[in-house]
A and B are shown apart, each in its own frame.
Chain A
Amino acid sequence: MEAFGLLVYGFSVLLTWKTLALMMVGLVLGIFVGVLPGLGGPNGVAILLPLTFTMDPTSAIVMLSCIYWGALFGGAITSILFNIPGEAWSVATTFDGYPMAQQGRAAEALTAAFTSSFIGSLVAVLLITFLAPGVASFALKFGPPEFFAVYLLTFCSFVGLGREEKHKTIISMTLGLLLAGVGMDTVSGQLRMTFGLSDLLRGINFLVAVIGLFGISEILLTMEERLALRGHPARISLRVVLKVWKELPQYWVTLLRSSAIGCWLGITPGGAIAASFMSYNLAKRFSKDKDSFGKGRIEGVFAPETAAHASGTSALLPMLALGIPGSGTAAILLGGLMVWGLNPGPLLFVEHKSFVWGLIASMYLGNVVGLVLVLTTVPLFAAVLRVPFAAIAPMIVVSCAIGAYAIQNAMFDIWLMLAFGIVGYVFKKIGIPLAPFTLALVLGNRAEDSFRLSMIGAGGDMRVFWSNGLVGSITTLALILLFWPLISSAIARIRPAVRGGA
Chain B
Amino acid sequence: MKRKLGSFASALACLALTTGSASAWEPSKPVEIVVAAGAGGASDQMARMIQVAIQKNNLMKQPMVVSLKGGASGAEALIYMKSSSGDANRLLIAYSLIYMLPLSAKIPFNWRDLTPVSVVALDQFVLWTNAQLPYKTVKEFADAAKSANPPFKMGGTGSKREDHVLTVFLEKKTGAKFAYLPYKSGGEAATQLVGNHTQSNVNNPSENLEVWRAGQVRPLCVFDKERIQYKTKVTDTMSWNDIPTCRDQGVDVQYLMLRAMFLPGKVTPEQTAFYVDLFRKVTETREYKEYMEKQALKPIFLTGKDMLKFLEEDDALNKSLMTEAGFVAN
**Residues of chain A whose beta carbon lies under 8 Å from any beta carbon of chain B:** 139-144, 183-191, 198, 201-203, 339-343, 347, 408, 449, 453, 456-459
Report A458 CB to chain B, min CB distance, Å. 7
Complexed CA–CA distance, A321 and B113 (Å):
43
**Are the C-beta atoms of B179 and A457 separated by less than 8 Å?**
yes
CB-based closest 3 A-B pairs:
A341-B39, A143-B197, A202-B71
Question: Given contacts A189-B158, A453-B181, are A183 and B191 in contact (CB under 8 A)?
Answer: no
**Are the C-beta atoms of B158 and A186 separated by less than 8 Å?**
yes
Complexed CA–CA distance, A456 and B75 (Å):
25
In the complex, chain B residues whose CB is within 8 Å of the CB of A191: 72, 105-107
In the complex, chain A residues whose CB is within 8 Å of the CB of B215: none
In the complex, chain B residues whose CB is within 8 Å of the CB of A190: 104-105, 159, 329
**Which one of A187, A342, A458 has the highest number of Cβ atoms from chain B below 10 Å of its Cβ?**
A187
For A196, give the chain B residue with the smallest CB separation.
Answer: B108
In the complex, chain A residues whose CB is within 8 Å of the CB of B194: 140
Question: Interface size on B (CB < 8 Å)?
Answer: 43
Question: Given contacts A341-B68, A453-B181, are A184 and B197 in contact (CB under 8 A)?
Answer: no
Known: A202-B76, A457-B179. 11 other contacts (CB 8 A): A140-B195, A143-B197, A183-B71, A184-B72, A188-B159, A190-B105, A341-B39, A341-B68, A347-B191, A449-B184, A453-B182
In the complex, chain A residues whose CB is within 8 Å of the CB of B83: 198
* Per-position binary interface string of chain B over residues 59-90, scored 1 when its CB falls under 8 Å from any chain A CB and 0 otherwise: 00000000010011101100100010000000
**Are the C-beta atoms of B181 and A456 separated by less than 8 Å?**
yes
**Are the C-beta atoms of A341 and B40 separated by less than 8 Å?**
yes
Partner of A459 from B68, B179, B184, B197 at Cβ < 8 Å: B179
B192 within 8 A of A: yes
26 contacts between A and B (CB under 8 A): A139-B191, A141-B195, A142-B195, A184-B75, A184-B105, A187-B182, A189-B160, A189-B164, A189-B182, A189-B327, A190-B159, A190-B329, A191-B105, A202-B72, A203-B71, A340-B39, A341-B39, A343-B185, A453-B182, A456-B179, A456-B181, A457-B150, A457-B179, A457-B198, A459-B150, A459-B151
For B188, give the chain A residue with the smallest CB separation.
Answer: A343
Complexed CA–CA distance, A343 and B157 (Å):
15
Report A208 CB to chain B, min CB distance, Å. 13
**Are the C-beta atoms of B39 and A143 separated by less than 8 Å?**
no
Question: Given contacts A144-B197, A457-B179, are A184 and B73 in contact (CB under 8 A)?
Answer: yes
B window 157-178: CB within 8 A of A: 158-161, 164
Question: Given contacts A140-B195, A341-B40, A459-B179, are A186 and B160 in contact (CB under 8 A)?
Answer: no
Partner of A201 from B68, B79, B151 at Cβ < 8 Å: B79
In the complex, chain A residues whose CB is within 8 Å of the CB of B164: 189
B180 within 8 A of A: yes
In the complex, chain A residues whose CB is within 8 Å of the CB of B161: 189
Report B20 CB to chain A, min CB distance, Å. 33
Report A344 CB to chain B, min CB distance, Å. 12
In the complex, chain A residues whose CB is within 8 Å of the CB of B75: 184, 201-202
Question: Given contacts A186-B184, A187-B159, are A203 and B153 in contact (CB under 8 A)?
Answer: no
* Per-position binary interface string of chain B over residues 100-114, scored 1 when its CB falls under 8 Å from any chain A CB and 0 otherwise: 000011111000000
**Are the C-beta atoms of A341 and B160 separated by less than 8 Å?**
no
Complexed CA–CA distance, A139 and B191 (Å):
9
In the complex, chain A residues whose CB is within 8 Å of the CB of B198: 457
Complexed CA–CA distance, A142 and B191 (Å):
10
For B191, give the chain A residue with the smallest CB separation.
Answer: A347
In the complex, chain A residues whose CB is within 8 Å of the CB of B40: 341
In the complex, chain A residues whose CB is within 8 Å of the CB of B327: 189
Complexed CA–CA distance, A36 and B106 (Å):
47
Complexed CA–CA distance, A187 and B158 (Å):
7
Report B310 CB to chain A, min CB distance, Å. 25
B264 within 8 A of A: no
In the complex, chain A residues whose CB is within 8 Å of the CB of B105: 184, 189-191
In the complex, chain B residues whose CB is within 8 Å of the CB of A202: 71-72, 75-76
For B329, give the chain A residue with the smallest CB separation.
Answer: A190
**Are the C-beta atoms of A186 and B181 separated by less than 8 Å?**
no
**Which one of B44, B79, B161 has the highest number of Cβ atoms from chain A below 10 Å of its Cβ?**
B79
B27 within 8 A of A: no
B38 within 8 A of A: yes
Question: Given contacts A144-B197, A186-B159, are A198 and B79 in contact (CB under 8 A)?
Answer: yes
Report A443 CB to chain B, min CB distance, Å. 14
**Are the C-beta atoms of A456 and B71 separated by less than 8 Å?**
no
B265 within 8 A of A: no
In the complex, chain A residues whose CB is within 8 Å of the CB of B329: 190
In the complex, chain A residues whose CB is within 8 Å of the CB of B107: 191, 201
Report A407 CB to chain B, min CB distance, Å. 11
Report B219 CB to chain A, min CB distance, Å. 20
For A456, give the chain B residue with the smallest CB separation.
Answer: B179
For B160, give the chain A residue with the smallest CB separation.
Answer: A189
For B68, give the chain A residue with the smallest CB separation.
Answer: A341
In the complex, chain B residues whose CB is within 8 Å of the CB of A341: 38-40, 44, 68
B window 100-147: CB within 8 A of A: 104-108
Report B212 CB to chain A, min CB distance, Å. 15
Report B295 CB to chain A, min CB distance, Å. 17
Complexed CA–CA distance, A143 and B189 (Å):
11
In the complex, chain B residues whose CB is within 8 Å of the CB of A186: 73, 158-159, 182-184
Report A116 CB to chain B, min CB distance, Å. 39
For A143, give the chain B residue with the smallest CB separation.
Answer: B197
Complexed CA–CA distance, A185 and B71 (Å):
11
B205 within 8 A of A: no
Report A305 CB to chain B, min CB distance, Å. 37
B244 within 8 A of A: no
Complexed CA–CA distance, A340 and B40 (Å):
9
B window 172-226: CB within 8 A of A: 179-185, 187-188, 191-192, 194-198
In the complex, chain A residues whose CB is within 8 Å of the CB of B192: 143
